[in-house]
Amino acid sequence: MKLSRNATLKIHYLLDQFCPPVVRDSGAFIALPFRMLFGSRSRYFKEFKEKNPRYSAEDYREVYRAVDEVLIQRPTDLNTECIEAITSSLAGESVLDVGCGRGLLAGVISNTHQVTGLDMLISDEIRSLYPAVTFVEGFIEDLPFEDNAFDTVVCTHTLEHVQNLFLAISELRRVAAQRLIIVVPRQRPYRYTFDLHLHFFPYEHSLLNLIGPGYDNSCITVGGDLFYTENVTAQAQAKE
């Protein structure tokens, strides 16, 4: 299935805003569209939120392997406005793209920066598409890099998926030397969703309250998604 990020934003908006919660959260309502979209793998989407607290890291990885071919196939989950905002907000020379997915953003950034892309599953096809990018397999909650290893750390459409959200954010900050950029979808929480999302950010303050007070940061809506930037350098200087 191939839909652009801009198209799915419109579909999610209609479902989230105009479908009554009592209907939207109904297993009976969701059963047919799940079956049509995901076939025999629909059970993974229906059970994911309830089973996640008991998943090991390898269980979690196996779920993504199992559903990979029924997920929306597109080069990136980013809308075009966010890609432009990210590329114009980079600081320094080295960039880490955490949750790089199919590698498009990392490939774009590699035209002007030294880029490392990390995800829990990276295919040989993706490596061959973007030879200028150094790809590493790993988990966001345990990044295999030294402190302050990258000038800019970018994490897009990933935090909504992670098992340990606070640890993930801590790790992103740990390896960022100058700037942290986060993009998450604006989405209301529902029991059944057409993606493997565990966390939901319907408003700008939803993300900012999670980040916590006292950071030199900004959070705005860009093309329907939340776009967060944090000046890590200024934050470190303020603590000295």
Q: Which residues contact 181 (CB under 8 A, 6 or more apart)?
A: 86, 89, 90, 152, 153, 154, 155, 156, 227, 228, 229, 230
- The domain tally of the chain equals 1
pTM, full prediction: 0.88
3-class SS at 215? Answer: coil
Position 194 scores a pLDDT of: 86
CATH of the domain at 149: 3.40.50.150
Rounded Cα distance between 156 and 158, Å, is 5
**pLDDT, block means (10 residues), the chain with 240 residues:** 56 76 88 87 93 93 88 79 97 97 96 97 94 97 97 97 95 97 94 91 94 92 95 64
> Could you tell me the residue range of the domain that residue 145 belongs to?
1-240
Residue among 153, 52, 57 nearest 98 (CA) = 153
Strand 217-222 versus strand 225-231 pairing type:
antiparallel
173 CA to centre of own chain: 16
Rounded Cα distance between 145 and 236, Å, is: 19
